[in-house]
């Protein structure tokens, strides 16, 4: 069984909404878990942001 990776997707937000959505869909299609704080928090703290990045297996910067 293949390990599912947590993939953190990062970019500026409002100007790259479509690109971020395409990245989320590609990660899901590949069978992995997309992560991005805007999915869960409106204004995350830097501490929370750093922890999520550290806990992810892959970091994608758009």
pLDDT of amino acid 46: 82
Task: Please report which helix (H) or strand (E) contains residue 10, including its range.
Answer: strand 6-10
Is residue 56 within 8 A of residue 33, CB to CB? The reply is no
Residue 57's pLDDT is 98
pLDDT band for 40, please (50, 70, 90 cuts): low
Q: Which residues pair with 6 in a beta bridge?
A: 33
Contact between residue 35 and residue 56 where contact means Cβ atoms under 8 Å apart: yes
Which stretch of 29-33, 36-40, 43-47 has the lowest confidence by average pLDDT?
Answer: 36-40
Domain residue ranges in the chain: 6-61
Three-state SS at 58:
strand
């Amino acid at each position: 069984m293949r390990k599912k990776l947590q993939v953190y997707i990062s970019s500026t937000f409002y100007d790259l909404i479509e690109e971020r959505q395409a990245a989320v869909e590609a990660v899901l299609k590949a069978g992995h878990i997309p992560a991005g704080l805007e999915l869960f928090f409106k204004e995350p703290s830097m501490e929370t942001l750093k922890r999520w990045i550290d806990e992810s297996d892959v970091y994608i910067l758009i």
